[in-house]
Structure 1
Amino acid sequence: MPHAALIAFALIALTMTGAILARRLHLPASIFLVVFGIAASFVPGLPHIPIEPNVVLQVLLPPLLYIAGVGMSWRGFKREFAEISLLAVGCVCATAAAVAFTVHGLLGWPLALGFVLGAIVAPPDAVAPLALTDGLALPQRIVTILEGEGLVNDATALIIFSFAVTAVETASFSLPQATGLFVIVAIAGVAWGLAVGWGTLRLRRAIGDPQIELTIALLAPYIAFWPLQALGGSGVLAAVTAGLYVSANGAGSIPPATRLQGYFFWRLVVYITEGSIFVITGLQARPILETLQKDSWEKLPLAIGVVILAVVAVRLIWVVVLTRVPRDLIRKSKHKAPPPWQHDFFIGFTGIRGVVSLAAALSIPFMVDGAPFPERDIVLIITFAVILATLVGQGLSLPWLVRKLGLDAEGRRESAAAKDREIRARVLGVEAVLTRLGALDGISAGTMRVLKNRHRDRRDTLISALKRADGQYGDSLQVQLSLIEAERQKIAELYAQDALSDEARRRIERELDLEDARVRHAYSSALPIKYDDPLT
């Protein structure tokens, strides 16, 4: 097998092994996979799995950014755009500058080199925070801001990183020129992303075949990312923008059959890609440590300590003080109640760094004008230490912090109210169906009776969920699953008796699988908070 195929197979195998162990040990999968990767990297005799930075940035990252944009609430993104921008642009720039000036003052590094490190560790990861908070009862505003920030901040940091590396290589830097280029890169990224989103949606609508549509959807993030990245632009921003465009405009353009298959397709893509990214992060522990020169060890404790302190403190100060005070003054002038301080504190604390920081650090060139890139090994170690400290240290404390700040109670109340509105909308939808049935002509009395009874049962089931008859609702769905299983067993018996052809059996199985999925989805949809499937 080709070398790349072996690496991909080994990586997926490690990811699935770690995921199984995390489930068995009831540990957060993201944190466990990183630690599992670290442990695997030090196993005697196990060869190092080399991962090129471009593989992470150009192969694994684009689909995650795109599908995160597709899944993002466009309405919520617009509503929280000001705060998302302050975090994704303002806080990233402030963090990069704080780290640069800190290592310049304490370690004597040139400012350009300080900005290389600052840009690397400045952006919180787009994947880890939401993976760690998945299933927690968080207020929607917090989720929207964290999602929106994760979509944009990598673009800001990578642009700063490219400027800083160029400054180290050329020993020159012009702030006005860099600012102008930053604006051009941002505009180009948004424009190309909109063009890709618009073009792929139009193409999918014209084709109308689910398999081809999903193939186009899988290619869309790479069409957005690769050309712009090759031209020196921001592929990250383009992929995110394309996803957001599909989020805002895809509802009326994507057929139900494609959407149904897309749910399962993208869940598998995201599951494997996210898990692989966490394992990749851990696997870099040994090779990064092996690059460190002996005389560099004495510099490490101070460097690691001040950088971790800087990235955590700057984000907290930025969110809790510099962002909250002017925002609350504006809200009060408009007679709007500011959000609770607990929101800002949690957002400020949730600054977990991840694989984009690691990939950027690994992409630092080895040589500059025939000489080794200054302090490259220390930059790698500091980056890995910041990722590990924020992912494990801050990540493990997130559930405790949610409860301590009272966000879980607020999130549950908010989720319950939102679920009530959702179920009421479903009831109104079913009543619209019954009204339409009453107005139809040319339907036999028997058919009309069957259809009305079916939709009345749907309405009654929804109303029971609205009345919080959770036990009764769950029992009803358990019975439905047992009935599906009884039908499935009978079909298997008939097939074994050669009373059914293979084609007929597959068609019936597909219908039963869809009905099974519908029942399970109906149960989870009636719950106020997202949990693992309680019926499995």
Structure 2
Amino acid sequence: MHTLLPFFLAMIAAIVLLNMWATKLRVAYPILLVVAGLLVSFVPGLPVVKIDPDLIFFIFLPPLLFEASWSISFKEMKKWWRIIGSFAFLVVFFTALSVALVTNHFIPGFSIAIGFLLGGIVSPPDAVSTGAIMKFVKIPNSTSAILEGESLLNDASSLIIFRFALVAVGTGQFIWQEAATSFIWMVAGGAGIGLALAWFFVQAHKRLPTDAPSDIVFTLIEPYILYWVAEQLHSSGVMAVVCGGLFMSARRMIFLNSASRIRGYSVWESFVFILNGIVFLIIGLELPEIVAGIKAEGIPLRLAIEYGFLVTGILIAARMISSYAALIATTIFRPGVMPHASSKRRRWMMPLLLGWTGMRGVVSLAAALSIPVTLKNGVEFPHRNLILFITFMVILLTLLIQGLTLPYLISRTHFFDGLLSEESELTSRNKMKQGLKQHVYEVLKKKYDNGLQGDAGIEKILKQWEDRAKASDDSWMNEQTKMVFIELLESQRKYLTQLNKDSSIDEEIIRQQFYQIDLEEERLKII
């Protein structure tokens, strides 16, 4: 323990420093973390990092998926649900099938079941890598929503494929009827369990005398409960976490107070950042042991690298084909739901960019590491080290090739020029603020102008909202005016909730204003 603790502390410090360096270099930090982990793994004398395969999913996946479901715009997900659904389910299955068929043909000893196992592992693009890259380029809300929604749901579909393939490899048989029934239960049951537990959690937050620290602690353990309960009932823990997270995210204004939301945002941001960083470092640190394993199996390293390039090429090709197939199908059957493009050329380039965003990462590594070392009969799991090595190669190649070139591709093609309008965003923001100002002023005039005339505090509030001016100090803020001000803040939240139903208003702008209101409420509490 005394040996491992300094090592893990050094890992966390390295994650933070590499993130700073990545920001300065304007590259996605997962790229540097993977490369750094690979380089550090060759330093002699370092402890070997080993994680129990049975625990890898449980440790990392629930909080990562839960946080992602809180960050995504559910309004945008509903708007683009057809494209998101096709990428999250149909494209994932097509990708896994392509990997299974090609690896079964080209890799000796790879059965269809093992090919599907590998396909389920490497088929889901990584939301963390895509999000880190998108910090340095601007893309339209529609494209961002499609990528975020896809990355949230495809984890569930790919891991279901992975689970079925794992059973098929272990038993040597696959019964379609049982698989179909099990699939329905895993999806529907997981969603139902997640929604039921999320409703219970919301009620518990509302009824218990919680404060900000206890609310945050509850939200940290809730994704683990969602995952564990669903898995105990032989359903999909991933679906439970995603559906439960989306349910709670949509109701965060109801069961969390302003202090819990503000502090929770910072805690979760740091927690998820560290988890992601550790996983990406582990990818590199695990490589020497994986290489030793494939050499022990008699597979030359050069041949294993070729297999890694082969599978990476399949993934890129399958995603490109799927992107263009989705565009063609949408153009023929549902042209009204197509994302806007200023020309046919740009419309037909959009699948190219969507196809080029398929970086792999956390979920693929977690799935690969969760493969048991031996089968139930004690026999060594077939080709486990080769699967791990190919997964590492896919992650490394997609991060380096696609991750480094995607920002350049977007900036050089000028594909989104004209689709991104700062004026449009400014108009939406001004519309929101103007409507909010008018709403508050009307509430004040209607409710307090006649009954509280002469009250210095109320007159100050009226003047502030009428003239958009801030008072020079807070000496006028007595208990009565503070109560009125907090009531106005709550009224603003209700107005913004209704305004968010307007499809022309970006939900991210609404969330930013919610955050400002929370900060104002917390400021009032300490006056």
- Of residues 250, 260, 263, the one that matches 1:261 is 263
Tell me which residue corresponds to 1:422.
Answer: 429
User: How far, CA to CA, are the matches of 2:165 and 2:437 in structure 1?
Assistant: 58
2:497 is matched with none
Shift of 1:411: 5.1
* Counterpart secondary structure, 2:195: helix
Amino acid of the residue matched to residue 464 of structure 2?
A: R
Q: Aligned AA for 2:77?
A: F
Equivalents in 2 of 1:59, 1:173: separation in Å? 29
Tell me: CA distance 1:335–1:38, structure 2 relative to 1, closer, same or farther (3 Å).
Answer: closer
Distance 1:206 1:310 in 2: 52
Match in the other structure for 2:329: 326
Secondary structure of 1:352's partner? coil
2:107 maps to 107
Tell me: CA distance 1:5–1:103, structure 2 relative to 1, closer, same or farther (3 Å). Answer: same
Aligned match of 2:352: 345
Structure 1 residues 243-282: Cα deviation after superposition (integer angstroms, max 9, x where no partner): 1112223333332232222222222222222222222222
1:307 aligned partner: 311
Stretch moving more, 5-14 or 368-377: 5-14
Matched residue, 1:173: 174
- Superposition deviation, residue 16 in structure 1: 2.2
Counterparts in 2 of 1:324 and 1:57: CA distance versus 1, 3 Å: same
- Partner in structure 2 of residue 72 of structure 1: 72
| Aligned partners of 2:142 and 2:339 also within 8 Å | no
Other-structure match for 1:404: 412
Aligned match of 1:438: 445
TM-score (norm 2): 0.81
Task: Return closer, same or farther for 1:435/1:165 CA change in 2, 3 Å cut-off.
Answer: closer
User: In the alignment, what sits opposite 1:454?
Assistant: 464
Deviations 1:55-76 (Å, cap 9, x if unpaired)? 4421222112112112222221
Check 1:135–1:201 CA distance in 2 against 1; reply closer, same or farther (3 A cut). farther
Contact 2:138–2:420 (Cα < 8 Å) also in 1: yes
Distance verdict in 2 for CA 1:404–1:43, change over 3 Å: same
- 1:356-382 deviation digits (Å, cap 9, x = unpaired): 212222222223344322222211111
- Distance of 2:265 and 2:85 partners within structure 1: 29
1:438 Cα offset (Å): 3.2
User: Are the counterparts in 2 of residues 123 and 357 from structure 1 also a CA contact under 8 Å?
Assistant: yes
Give me the whole-angstrom Cα distance separating, in 2, the residues matched to 1:129 and 1:53: 26
Aligned counterpart, 1:187: 188
1:384 matched to 2:392? The reply is yes
Distance 2:203 2:426 in 1: 33
Distance in 2 separating the partners of 1:3 and 1:238: 37
Paired residue secondary structure (1:367): coil
Q: State yes or no: 1:216 paired with 2:226.
A: no
8 Å Cα contact 1:69/1:243 also seen in 2: yes
Q: Which residue is equivalent to 1:245?
A: 247
CA positional deviation for 1:398: 1.4
Within 2, Cα distance between the matches of 1:349 and 1:17? 28
Q: Give me the whole-angstrom Cα distance separating, in 2, the residues matched to 1:366 and 1:388.
A: 23
Q: Deviations over 1:72-98 (max 9, x none)?
A: 222211122221121111111111111
Of 76-85 and 229-238, more deviation after overlay is shown by 229-238
Residue equivalent to 1:44 = 44
Give yes or no for the alignment of 1:160 onto 2:161: yes
C-alpha distance in 1, partners of 2:339/2:167?
46
Q: CA RMSD in A?
A: 2.9
Structure 2 CA distance for partners of 1:444 and 1:8, relative to 1, 3 Å: farther
Q: Which residue identity does 1:348 align to in structure 2?
A: G
Identify if the C-alpha distance between structure 1 residues 168 and 421 changes in structure 2 by more than 3 Å, giving closer, same or farther.
Answer: same
Given the alignment of the two structures, is residue 138 of structure 1 paired with residue 139 of structure 2, yes or no? yes
Task: Report if the CA contact (8 A) 2:23-2:29 is conserved.
Answer: yes
Give the counterpart letter for 2:441 in structure 1: L
Give 1:117's aligned residue: 118
The CA distance in 1 between the partners of 2:10 and 2:438, in whole Å, is 53
Counterpart CA distance in 1 for 2:392 and 2:142 is 30
What is the CA-CA distance between 1:205 and the residue it aligns to? Answer: 1.2
Percent of matched pairs sharing the same residue: 32
1:411–1:41 CA distance, 2 compared to 1 (3 A): farther
For the Cα contact (< 8 Å) 2:276–2:362, is it kept in 1? no
Partner AA of 1:17 in structure 2: L
d(CA) in 2 for partners of 1:89, 1:283: 32
8 A contact 1:7–1:49 mirrored in 2: no
Q: Report the equivalent of 2:521.
A: none
Report which stretch shifted further, 267-276 or 145-154. Answer: 267-276
Alpha-carbon separation, structure 2, partners of 1:419 and 1:176:
54
Which residue of structure 2 lines up, in the alignment, with residue 470 of structure 1?
none
User: What secondary structure does 1:292 align onto?
Assistant: helix
2:339 is aligned with 1:366: no
Describe the SS at the equivalent of 1:371.
coil
Superposition pairs for residues 465-480 of structure 1, below 5 Å? Answer: none
1:318-365 deviation digits (Å, cap 9, x = unpaired): 111x21111111224x69786523332211211111122122222222
Q: Is the 8 A contact 1:293 1:377 kept in 2?
A: no
The 2-side partners of 1:419 and 1:107 are apart by 54
Question: 1:129·1:352 contact (CA, 8 Å) conserved in 2?
Answer: yes
Report the TM-score, using the length of structure 1 for normalisation.
0.80
Cα 1:371–1:52 change in 2 (3 A) is closer
Unaligned runs of at least 5 residues, structure 2: 342-346, 475-507, 514-527
Partner of 2:238: 236
Aligned to 2:18: 18
Looking at structure 1, the residues matched to 304 and 245 of structure 2 have their Cα atoms a distance apart, in angstroms, of 40
Instruction: Pick closer, same or farther for the CA change 1:457–1:221 going to 2, 3 Å.
Output: farther
CA 1:449–1:257: 2 relative to 1, 3 Å: same
Letter in 1 for 2:395: I
Aligned residues: 466
Counterparts in 2 of 1:343 and 1:22: CA distance versus 1, 3 Å: same
For residues 149 and 328 of structure 1, what CA distance do their matches in structure 2 show?
Answer: 20
Shift of 1:26: 4.7
CA distance in 2, matches of 1:124, 1:253: 33
Once the 2 structures are TM-superposed, how far is the Cα of residue 446 of structure 1 from its aligned partner?
4.0
Counterpart residue type for residue 215 of structure 2: E
Q: Residue 255 of structure 2: SS of its match in structure 1?
A: coil
Question: What residue is the counterpart of 1:150 in the other structure?
Answer: 151
**C-alpha distance in structure 2 between counterparts of 1:178 and 1:525, whole Å:** 44
